[in-house]
Amino acid sequence: MKTRILSAIVLALALTACGDDDSPQAARKTIDVARAFPNLSFERPVDLQNAGDGTDRLFVVEQAGRILVFPNDPAAASAGVFLDIRDRVNDGGNEEGLLGLAFHPEYKTNGSFYVYYSVSDPRRSRLSRFSVSSQDPNAADPASEEILLEVDQPYSNHNGGQISFGPDGYLYVALGDGGSGGDPQGNGQNRSTLLGKILRIDADRAPYGIPPDNPFAGNTQGYREEIFAYGLRNPWRFSFDRPTGRLWAGDVGQNKYEEIDIIEAGKNYGWNVMEGKHCYDTDVCATGGLTLPVWEYPHSEGQSITGGFVYRGAALPELAGKYIYADFVSGKIWALRYDGQTPPVNDLLIDTGLNISSFGVDEAGELYLCAFDKRIYKLAEVKTTR
């Protein structure tokens, strides 16, 4: 009797180990992109934000100078104009325009938000504060603009454009190296200019303040005190991973490599000494004091990185904790697993063929992507393969 019972147990365990068509071990979920709001379209969408005020709305930035608002509902039929400053924005260059939007952490009570855009005559980038209308929560007051900062731009490309409040309550601002090719003015390594940097400022002071723990606060060498990190070429999109506090940035490369950096206070990310993990324009370079990227990919895979987010939503648990990013030229989307301890692992999720300009998250942490086919997409599980 004992022998037959043991035999039955062994057989059952063997069948369980082999699995059947319904076993989760045998299932593999496939990631694809799906149109998030089928009734809506946008002209050159370059940013997507939520206000963090519990209203579950989304805001999409159009490069020409408009911000549109709509309910976070797949059935949304139309989007209203939240702000229209096309009369102030210079979008003449491919990388110029209204490029960034950030809502104050206390937006629900103070109604303040910030934009970053290009201005002409002379060419420069502008960081401004606006206020929501006192009469309509879905409209801003265009006359409320307060200019915080302007930075002269020598060329029309490499404007950066990301702005975001960090977990510390300070406002972070990304600026490219000023443009052309190869950083001809040496801005990336020059700490007396704001170009080629990520800045950190106190937006609650007028026009803004320098956080006392900024790496160059109070220096006597003539370095700009706003600088948080430097040696960047064009950090088009960065994001904070709130659970870990890490600041992730996708820095657009020059001729050969695109890179992903973990941005930390005072660090030098190498441009234009380095492009990715490689010497730029020379076979020998001094790498002492430089912080190399956590990941790079060659131009055979893509030619313009679009930085994304560490996924913290609930809809796609297999992506939890992975940094999701894309390439604007190739349309590929990847998931990078990196914990700061073990070597990073990078997986291709999907080759979309889209020109993906930006990523954004809603209040629940679900991830969206903006594409230049006028649509907003989200990642979705579409089938199971065995």
The CATH number covering residue 109 comes to 2.120.10.30
Q: What total of structural domains would you count in the chain?
A: 1
Round to whole Å and give the CA distance between 358 and 164: 14
The answer to the question of residue 12 being in a domain is: no
Task: Write the pLDDT tens digit of every residue in 133-157.
Answer: 999 999 999 999 999 999 999 999 9
Which residue, chain included where needed, has tokens 């089938």?
A: 383
The answer to the question of residue 296 being in a domain is: yes
Query: Would you say 132 and 126 are in contact if contact means Cβ atoms under 8 Å apart?
Result: no
Round to whole Å and give the CA distance between 90 and 63: 9
Query: Would you say 306 and 237 are in contact if contact means Cβ atoms under 8 Å apart?
Result: yes
**pLDDT tier, 234 (very low <50, low <70, confident <90, very high otherwise):** very high
The answer to the question of residue 346 being in a domain is: yes
The answer to the question of residue 18 being in a domain is: no
pLDDT at 28: 63
Could you tell me the residue range of the domain that residue 354 belongs to? 25-385
**pLDDT tier, 188 (very low <50, low <70, confident <90, very high otherwise):** very high
Please determine, for residue 76, whether its predicted confidence score (pLDDT) is greater than 70. yes
The answer to the question of residue 228 being in a domain is: yes
The answer to the question of residue 87 being in a domain is: yes
Query: Would you say 31 and 350 are in contact if contact means Cβ atoms under 8 Å apart?
Result: yes
The answer to the question of residue 9 being in a domain is: no
Round to whole Å and give the CA distance between 226 and 223: 9
Residue 290 DSSP code: B
Lowest mean pLDDT among 13-22, 59-68, 205-214, 350-359: 13-22
The answer to the question of residue 17 being in a domain is: no
- Lay out the sheet containing 367-371: strands in order across: 28-35, 376-385, 367-371, 356-361
